Amino acid sequence: MQQDVKRDMVALVPRLRRFAYAISGSRDEGEDLVQAACLKALDRLDQFQPGTRLDSWMFRIVQTTWIDRSRRRVRRAEVSDPDGMARRSDEGVGARGAEDRMTLERVRAAMASLPEDQRAVLALVAIEGLSYKAAAEALAIPLGTVMSRLARARSKLLPLVKETA
Partner 1 sequence: MARRVTDEQIAAFVDGHLEGTEAALVAAVLSEDEEARAYAAEVERANGLLREAFGAPMGEAVPVGLRDSILQSDDAAADRKVVALAARRPARWPLAKMAIAAGVAVVIGAGASAILVSQMTPGYQQIVSLGTAPADGPLHKALERLPSGAVSDAGVQPMVTFRDAAGRICREFEAAGEVPDHLEFGIACRGDEGRWDVEIVVAAPLTEASPQGYRPASGPGGDALEAMLDALGAQPVLGPAEESELLRRGWR
Binding stretches for partner 1 (CB under 8 A)? 2-3, 6-7, 9-10, 13-15, 17-18, 21-22, 27, 30-32, 34-36, 38-40, 42-46, 65, 68-69, 71-73, 75-77, 79-83, 86, 90, 93-95, 103-104, 107-108, 111, 122-123, 125-127, 129, 131-132, 147, 150-151, 154-155, 157-158, 161-162, 165
Q: Nearest distance from residue 52's CB to partner 1, in Å?
A: 16
**In terms of CB distance, is 51 or 83 closer to partner 1?**
83
**In terms of CB distance, is 73 or 140 closer to partner 1?**
73
Q: Nearest distance from residue 63's CB to partner 1, in Å?
A: 14
**In terms of CB distance, is 129 or 140 closer to partner 1?**
129
Distance CA 104, CA 99 (A): 9
Alpha carbon 26 to its chain centroid, in Å, reads 10
Q: Nearest distance from residue 19's CB to partner 1, in Å?
A: 8
Q: Nearest distance from residue 131's CB to partner 1, in Å?
A: 6
